[in-house]
Chain A
């Protein structure tokens, strides 16, 4: 029983990370019908941005003070992710706005490779995994016999809070309405006076900020980062977005938690253990798609006239 509960905790932590990344996949798909395969690398870049800030920007004296260091790193990670994502959108995706869908998709794959290699080449020491600072926020909260790492709890709380804030923003704000309108019917949105470019840029920016925050918190929790974390978590997050119903905010985060839980539970109890835990993620994905092709919370796609 203790083992099960403990695994559930780990599952939720992984789920929070995956869910935060999945939001970016689902939002961008909802508005431009692009699976942005570079989005996992945006998460990775955020973690490296925060590490660079810690290493070279934050003064020695305050590095151990977590309540100063951590917020600075989170902000730095979010900003780096956002800037990179907006540059990519402008240079790689925008020129292909009216191209057949396959073109931006393949471009996204190319961008993802380019980002990863850029970090490998230009970030000092990134050819091997790098230690992520752990001076702050160490230890766990004991709940009966199970341990909840403080950094893990932070990920879960941040994931839930940001998702709720995002939902409220999209459902009630003027720009949120513009985003939903553009997603539902881009031409009619333009007839309302909505500038599609601005809406798309905002969507990429929000997705990137969420991924950047996730990258920093992931680093703080795992204590080391490498250029491979983007691909690995990106695939989980993409799967989570599809599982939850691509285009759905709620679906992405719930999909993230489902994947986190499936991976840890399967790793503990299923034959093959952690060697085969990936397999079970995709088994669940396939099972869901067989019975609900639009995903858990997705809307059935309607063909426009």
Chain B
């Protein structure tokens, strides 16, 4: 069986600058896979290419065995990949409810209202203030909304870019617990994190990206035990 998502020899450039060089990895259905690596290693660029915001210079992206790297972003979302971008990127002048409705933009089934209630149950603070403008919420609350919004499209694959960025340790734990719950509900997750320790502890599989290419890969806990990873990303050695 082919993996849900497969990235093969992907290279992406901004003009003359190559941000991602020859990255390959795959995500099996039902797994949590994390990409870790230092700032500027090309993790965000990789996600933005998978979701169709950027075009690769070389290589391909296969989703359920079909190439998607030439499709437009809105088509890729509709085919089942949701991307919760770095910095959350909520529509700050719109309400919580409107942000969630936008998350469900491509759907026209009758379950939208029920799914919105599910987000409110998962994150009660959003339910209580559903008519408030998203821009007024704290960082952690905004991250909850960003994840809730991405869930509203009912994706097969959810890509989360730095969900713990700028959050307190308690809030980070909440977010990671939520990611686990989403996996338990059947969503496959591709996680990009600088917080390598927390990300790898959670992941079925991890890939270390360095200077634009994949350097190490393996099950999350194995990577966590790897001396090179500990030295480079966990401040040991």
Contact = CB atoms under 8 A, between A and B. Distances in A.
Do A and B interact?
Answer: yes
Interface of A: 174, 177-178, 180-181, 184-185, 187-196, 299, 305
A176 to B, nearest CB: 10
Report which residue of B51, B94, B105 has the largest number of chain A beta carbons within 10 angstroms of its beta carbon.
Answer: B105
Contacts of B89: 185, 187-188, 191
Contacts of A193: 74, 77-78, 105-106, 153
Given A188-B85, A190-B53, A181 B74 contact: no
Contact of A191 (B73, B92, B94): B73
Given A187-B53, A305-B87, A192 B92 contact: no
8 contacts: A181-B91, A187-B53, A190-B53, A191-B53, A192-B77, A192-B149, A192-B153, A195-B74
B52 interface: yes
A299 to B, nearest CB: 8
B229 to A, nearest CB: 29
Given A185-B91, A192-B105, A177 B98 contact: yes
A184 B78 CA distance: 21
Interface in B71-91: 72-74, 77-78, 82-83, 85, 87, 89, 91
Contacts of A189: 102
B82 to A, nearest CB: 8
Interface in B88-119: 89, 91-94, 98, 101-103, 105-106
Interface in B52-73: 52-53, 72-73
Interface of B: 51-53, 72-74, 77-78, 82-83, 85, 87, 89, 91-94, 98, 101-103, 105-106, 149, 153
Nearest to B102: A192
Nearest to B77: A193
B91 A180 contact: yes
A190 B93 contact: no
Nearest to A305: B87
A184 B102 CA distance: 13
Given A184-B93, A195-B72, A190 B52 contact: yes
